Amino acid sequence: MTALIGLVAGALGVNRTLAGVIAIGTAVVVASGAAWGVYTYVKQQGAAEVRDKIEKDNQDAIRKGIEASRSLDECVAAGGVWDFRRQRCSRATLGPR
């Protein structure tokens, strides 16, 4: 550290105390920048993971919706009655509804 302070003092033409303050201040700024960079990277990675999970869940819901609509059409075509509460086809009713 003393070598760095000596270099700063020689390059800027200031006394060693001020050179020490400048060196420490520079080190703090560099460390803060590195910490901010790591924070931003981790935040973006987490957001990407959440975005991917939501997209997968949406695709699964779309697929299940398409399958359910096909099942409904097949049930009605076969003369059955679709039970929306249980999400399945029931046999045709014997009497009027």
45 neighbors 52 (Cβ within 8 angstroms): no
Greatest alpha-carbon span in the chain: 103
- Residues 11-35 have pLDDT tens digits of 888 888 888 888 889 999 999 999 9
Q: What's the pTM? A: 0.50
Q: Dig out the tokens for 76 from the structure.
A: 């009605």
pLDDT, tens digit, 9 for 90 and up, residues 48-89? 999 999 999 999 998 888 777 777 888 888 888 888 888 778
How big is the chain by its Cα radius of gyration, in Å?
34
